Amino acid sequence: MLGGISEHPHRPTAEFDAENPFRYFVGSKTFHERFSRTQETQIFNQMCRYCANRRGGPLGAADLLLTDDDGVGHVFHFETFYNQHDALTLGVYRHANT
């Protein structure tokens, strides 16, 4: 499982840092052990694709494929909600991509 707090993916402010798109990015111990090469920017870029440009509420959800440190793909279900201050994103592990 992982989660992040960022700006709205379609309404960045002047302070937005594309190299560090999440203000907070947390993951379970297992996520950090198995996906240590996964970059926050990769997740944010995929998040931009499924999120709508809404003013608030649910921005979208999608199953995203993340590759672990051994090169194996895994499906995570992501959802993003915008509270008109921050975009709150949660990713939950589903299964290996077989």
pLDDT tens digits, 66-95: 999 999 999 999 999 999 999 999 999 999
Rounded to two decimals, the pTM is: 0.93
CATH code where residue 35 lies: 3.30.450
* Residue 61: strand pairing partners: 79
Sequence letter at residue 61: A
Provide the residue range defining the domain that includes 72: 2-96
Mark 42-67 as b/e (b = at least 16 C-beta within 10 Å). ebbebbeebbeeeeeeebbeeebebe
Q: What is the pLDDT at residue 21?
A: 97
Number of domains in the chain: 1
Q: For residues 60 and 52, is the Cβ–Cβ distance under 8 A? A: yes
pLDDT tens digits, 27-41: 999 999 999 999 999
